Amino acid sequence: MYPLGSRQPQNPQIPEIKARLGNIRGGYARQVNERFNLPTAQASQGAVLVLPEDIGLYSEVISRWESITLNLINEKNWADNKSKVNYIENLLGETEKKTWIQWRMAFPTEYEELVNIADDPQNVISQIRRMFLLEDPTTGSTEEQDRAYNDLERLSCHNVKDLFDYINDYKILAAKSGRMYISPELSTKFFRKIPPTIGGEIEKAFTEKYPGNTVGIIPRIHFTYQYLAEQCKRVALQRSLKDLSFCSRIPVSGYYQKNKKYGLRKAKTYRGKPHDTHIRVFKRKHADKVRKCKCFICGEEGHFARNCTRQKGNIARAAIVENLDLDDNWDVLSVDQNEPDSDAICSFSEGEGSTGHSLMAGINEVPYETTIMITNEEISWRVVISVPQEIQNCAHQWEDNSPVAQEFMKCLFCKEQTNPRMREHCSICRLTVCPMCSRFNLGRRLTIQKSNPHYDNKDTLINEMMGYTNFLLAENQRLKERIEELEMGKDRDKMRDPTKGKAQKSQFLKEWIRMTKQLKTISRNKME
């Protein structure tokens, strides 16, 4: 949204929101700044619609202007629909207003019909959107949603470093598609399109932590960020601890295994020319998928290093395998000349951390306890809440909209205070639920007790207000007259004092005449 008359040149590009990661130092830490401002709603002054030079942003700009204008229009009182439409027309930019004027002059009949239905300002806004884009989602047009859904199908993330850009683009396109809560399709695809090295682990962790939730993209985005942040903290901890050399000075009871001398890390210097420290690791259960079956120690084919029984071989390599900190489920191969680089090519050296930690730092499983749940097989955006076993096995006897004790007033699932007109309570296990939680967690539809609001007749209310007004006016006039009478009585008391001399007598007569005139005036006003 831009102020009137200003057009900032923009580079044509696909609208997207980039993840603000701050100043990254060392690949792990980031500057944390909790000072942020939300964009103003502009509800008091409004905004002028000026379409940007980036044509791809037309729909987003009109949607933002629509929200601002509706809030502004609904706060005002209008004499008629014509003045409301004129006001909205004056919120258009120069070019946009000229376009609108040409439309209403070319189609005066449709414009008059639009004025007649302008009681709801959404009708005017929708017509402006249709004039510019020939589509409007509020009236059933699905062109924008279909385009977003097609873009969402093409969207994918093949590299972990592009994950945050992918997340933000997915969020925007999913919101535009209108299918976020129709089915679990988009929620499931969010994890499927993440690189498989971490996508499956994140999905598994989310399912275990939030059982029962089948739809909801924004919660999955938030969980993914928190999951990755936790993994980054673990990797940073491993890097900061380096070789964990201090562990050798800490005795561990019952640990008699010989310390390994060599550790592994991902090879960063391999460019097709292997070094003596370069080896390829693989899981032994996938040995049948390895293209070459050649021992790392003796160099003969038919077996691997873990199974080598040859007396003759490379003694140095045998010592390396013996002192290599590698899980028994893994084995090693030599790296040949000009082999393509991959994550399986590692470099061993003294002082590296534990291989199990360094190789699996980003894909550790997050354990959660398994509990008994009241679940629902339908699509749901909610999370299933665990309940005690006695409630799970209770043969409930429900009492709808009945009084309950103070300690059972809150809903067991959402913890909100229940309304006496809309709640269920079990007289056996003392379970209390609200209408929303009752349907989701128990599969019951609660009958809400209707209230009987008191509606006053408009004419009766006006007559009562007029009666109160007349009463107050009459009371005000009575009090004014009472004040004047008290002042006259005060002056009369002064004149009744004994007087001496001609001067005092003359003064007394003047005051008497003045008071008599005032009394006559008051009497005349009362008669009128």
**DSSP symbol at 249:** G
Q: How far is it, in rounded angstroms, from Cα 216 to Cα 135? A: 27
In this structure, the number of other CB atoms found within 10 A of the CB of residue 394 comes to 15
**pLDDT exceeds 50 at position 367:** no
Residue spans of the domains in the chain: they are 145-241, 259-352, 389-442, 484-528
**What residues form DSSP beta bridges with 283?**
330
**DSSP symbol at 92:** B
The length of the chain, given as a count of residues: 528
Mean of per-residue pLDDT scores for the chain: 77
Q: How far is it, in rounded angstroms, from Cα 328 to Cα 33? A: 45
Whole-model pTM?
0.49
**DSSP symbol at 412:** T
Q: 324 is written with which tokens?
A: 């290599």
State the pLDDT at residue 149: 92
CB 134 within 8 A of CB 101: no
124-128, 187-191, 334-338, 370-374: segment of lowest average pLDDT: 370-374
pLDDT per residue over 171-205, tens digit each?
999 999 988 888 899 999 999 999 888 899 999 99
pLDDT per residue over 59-104, tens digit each?
999 999 999 999 999 888 888 889 999 999 999 999 999 999 999 9
Place of tokens 């929303």: 436
In this structure, the number of other CB atoms found within 10 A of the CB of residue 412 comes to 20
State the pLDDT at residue 226: 93
Q: 31 is written with which tokens?
A: 């500057």
In this structure, the number of other CB atoms found within 10 A of the CB of residue 395 comes to 7
State the pLDDT at residue 9: 41
Q: Which regions of 106-174 does DSSP assign to beta strands (E)?
A: none
56-60, 319-323, 335-339, 497-501: segment of lowest average pLDDT: 497-501
Place of tokens 């004056």: 90
Q: Which of 372-381, 434-443, 488-497 has the highest mean pLDDT?
A: 434-443
CB 481 within 8 A of CB 522: yes
